[in-house]
Amino acid sequence: MSAMRAIGAALAALTCTSAGLGQGQVELMDEGGTSVRLLEWTVEDGAAVLRWPDGTEVAFGERENAFWTAPFPTGRLPDWALDADELAVRIDGVDARMPADGLYATTFPTADGVRWALADAELSAPLLPPAPLTLRVPESMAEPGAESEATTGPSAADERPRPLDALTPAERLFGSLSLLDRSDLHASLDEPPDTRGLDLLEAPNTINTPLARMFESGPTLRFLQDVEWRFQTFERDGDSGLGLAFDYSKTKPLSIKDLADGRGVEGHALDLRAEGHLAFDNDINPSDFTSYSLGFEYFRSTGGAVPALTKEEKRRAQQLVQEATEYETWDEVARSGEWREFKDLARRVLSTQVYWELGLNAALEGDQDMTERNFVLGAHAALDVKAWNDRSNAALLNLFDYPAAILRLLTGYDETLLPRGNTIPTVLIGLDTVSPDGDTPRAEAGDSSNYERVRLELAYKAPIGIVDGKEYALTALYRKYFELDASDDVKGAGLDEYQYFTLGLETNDGLFATYSNGQLPFDDDGGEFYEIGWKFGF
Amino acid sequence: MAAWSNKKPNCVVTWGTLAVLGESTRSFPTSGDVKVRRFTYWVPDEDMRSTRARTLAVQMDNTFRNLFDTRFEDGVRKTKAIVAITGLLLEGDKTMNDLAELNDDLYRFLGEGG
């Protein structure tokens, strides 16, 4: 067992040894694996009873010589129970629940017996102090008069675990969690220690949990949670460097209502956006453009679905999806009879959605240290058409998606060459008044006056395959800026028009590689460059 | 957070909707912790991401009520539902399970009763 795994095992720390049927000791370890306390346990009336030095007794239960513990490394043992979906614990009078599908049982052979532990698959539970596990207090477990989250409908209530004191000892121990099947337990005795999830290097929550707590601590830091960061290395014209890119988008719809003819919705919204590309050596920043903007939009959406199904057919649709949830892989889902029948129903409902917006925007844009900057006021229009029905003409005419469709066919992701209507690029066109400030390339060319420009943007993304369990997607972004009625100085310096194209490949775990070509308004010179990195968020 | 389970209509319908719309094509058991930034609408351009998020939020509402037998919860109107879904779709680290939980608050799905 590696050192890391040994630490992980210690973190699953409340483990038990069996010196024989009916009695034994529980060893409580700290995070360093040091034994801090031994508790005696005995079996009395079918339940294992732990005795604490102060005389407190906690009964768990017993199954032959197998002994189960809850995943709490320190402190007092909580009451706990398992049902089909959740582990419920009561700690200092607070009820907490956590998903049980991430839990597993593991064994640790030792010289004097077999240690058993129940742990969370990513070790997030053992790393957390007990109380913050509280995520949702079900009404059935809440104290009378205490606040609890609202739940809906009687059947939802039926699915909730019963109160701890309403469970039998056997239910309290084993519930109906299939993972805790007895045959699995005994099979694992003869196998190498099962340390799934105990390698800290493979447990991103080990790091993310404390980071998440830090960023939840205040509104300023919470803001950062909504930012997407991309740590990347890039190469441009033989120079390479490291950089950090960020982008942020927040929208606040102010009103939404149905159109008078009932065929869609319209509304108003405020948008706050930021993007930037920061290189540690800003002289070789390949995409030296940072922008902060505020927008106000009127938007309208029509189409997307028609009320074509009867109530019975809708029930059938949900039943088919329910049955399709049983498949373990997407390939199995896509090839299943249930999914095919569901898709046939969906095709009767789904149609082409046309969304458009008109907006006003104000922005500050500049290079990464803002020594060159533009103040921008403008108006824009955006169009987002989505042909949700994959057999529609609009989907088949999505020429942008044919390269990705070919890749999907080659990777086996799709069985036929099938462009997707939900990947039709989003288009934005804007007319801006720009007030340059600082040492901009235009000023260096002899023109620092205000000017009007048109900008055009296209954004595209499409899946292209699943290889070795990793999902790949193709992304593309095109931007073009051109100045209206540019002066001869600006035209002569070639600064009246910029365009910039990025083609990227990204995976579901955040890795990405991009190829870019072109020039942005604060670039002294354009060119092509490559980036590799990963995306992350707090 | 409540568990991601195919015994919950909100999880089943959320997954089915995103799958049939082509936003996420993973099997149900592996979908609960998929982050929304991996969905197809999430593009590397913040200008158009909010546009695409609104488009998808409206379409999810369309799909819930036209393909599945889903109604708004008492006290919930379309404005609230689309605003809430759009907001969540712009938080890249939210998961499909988070979205399903939000939908559970906004909609009454078949099988929930009531």
Residues of B whose CB is below 8 A from A315: 69, 110
| Residues of A in Cβ contact (< 8 Å) with B78 | 256-258, 265
Say how far apart CA A299 and CA A267 lie, in whole Å: 5
What are the chain A neighbours of B7 within 8 Å (beta carbons)? 84-85, 159
* Helix locations, A357-429, DSSP H: 393-396, 402-410
Name which of B12, B62, B110 is nearest A304 (Cβ-Cβ): B62
Q: What is the pLDDT of residue A229?
A: 73
Question: Which one has a higher pLDDT value, B48 or B16?
Answer: B16
Q: C-alpha distances in angstroms, B23 versus A4, A373, A423, B55, B86?
A: 38, 37, 9, 12, 14
Q: How far is A279 from chain B (nearest CA, A)?
A: 18
CB within 8 Å: B108 and A152: yes
Tokens of A535: 């995306």
C-alpha A483/C-alpha A453 separation (Å) is: 4
Q: For the residues B89-113, what does the mean pLDDT come to?
A: 91
Q: From the CA of B43, how many Å to the nearest CA of chain A?
A: 6
Contacts B46 to A, Cβ<8 Å: 247-249, 273-275
Cα separation of the two ends of chain B: 23
Chain B positions in Cβ-Cβ contact with residue A535 (cut-off 8 Å): 37
Distance between CA atoms of residues B71 and A32, nearest Å = 52
pLDDT reported for residue A530? 80
Amino acid at B80: K
List the single residue in B37, B55, B104 with the smallest CB-CB distance to A355: B55
- Asked if A304 and B58 come within 8 Å (Cβ–Cβ), the reply is yes
CA dihedral A96, A97, A102, A104 (to 10 degrees): 70
- Whether the CB-CB separation of A388 and B21 falls below 8 Å is answered with yes
Q: Do A85 and B7 touch (CB under 8 A)?
A: yes
Element housing B78 (H / E)? helix B78-89
Chain A residue numbers with beta carbons less than 8 Å from the beta carbon of B23 are 422
Residue whose token pair is 């493979």: A202
CB contact under 8 A, A462 and B20: no
Written as one letter, the residue type at A227 is V
Task: Return the structure tokens found at A23.
Answer: 């009695």
Residue with tokens 């309290």: A172
- From residue A179, alpha-carbon distances to A119, A203, A277 in Å are 12, 21, 47
Q: Which residues in chain B have their CB less than 8 angstroms from residue A224's CB? A: none
CB contact under 8 A, B21 and A422: yes
Are the beta carbons of B28 and A86 separated by less than 8 Å?
Answer: no
User: In A, which residues are within 8 Å of B28 by CB distance?
Assistant: 324-327, 333
Q: Are B13 and A325 in contact (CB under 8 A)?
A: no
Find, in chain A, the residue whose alpha carbon is nearest to that of B20: A343
| φ, ψ at A376 (rounded to 5°) | -125, 130
List residues bridging with A503 in a β-sheet.
A476, A515
Residue whose pair of structure tokens reads 């008044």 in the numeric block: A433
CA distance B63 to chain A (A): 7
Whole-number Å distance between alpha carbons of A79 and A86: 14
DSSP A114-159: EEEEEEETTSHHHHS-SGGG-----TTTSPTT-------SHHHHHH
Determine the residue among A255, A299, A354, A386 to mutate to test chain B binding: the one whose Cβ has the most chain B Cβ atoms within 10 Å: A386
Per-residue pLDDT of chain A (538 residues; tens, 9 = 90+): 333 333 223 323 333 333 333 455 555 544 455 555 565 656 555 444 556 555 655 544 333 222 233 333 333 344 555 554 555 554 445 454 544 444 433 333 333 333 333 433 333 333 222 222 222 222 332 333 333 332 222 333 333 334 444 443 333 332 222 222 222 222 222 333 333 333 323 333 333 344 444 444 455 555 566 677 777 677 766 677 777 778 787 777 778 888 888 788 999 988 888 888 777 777 767 677 788 999 999 999 999 999 999 999 999 999 999 999 999 988 899 999 999 999 999 999 999 999 999 999 999 988 887 888 889 999 999 999 999 998 889 999 999 999 999 999 998 888 889 899 999 999 999 999 999 887 788 888 888 889 999 999 999 999 998 887 788 999 999 999 999 988 888 888 888 898 989 999 988 777 888 888 887 777 766 677 787 777 665 5
Largest CA distance in chain B: 42
Measure the CA–CA gap between A274 and A364, rounded to whole angstroms: 10
Beta-carbon pairs below 8 A across chains A and B: 254
Note the helical H segments in A164-310.
Answer: 169-174, 182-188, 205-215, 219-225
**A420 to chain B: nearest residue by CA?**
B22
> What is the phi/psi pair of residue A405, to 5°?
-65, -35
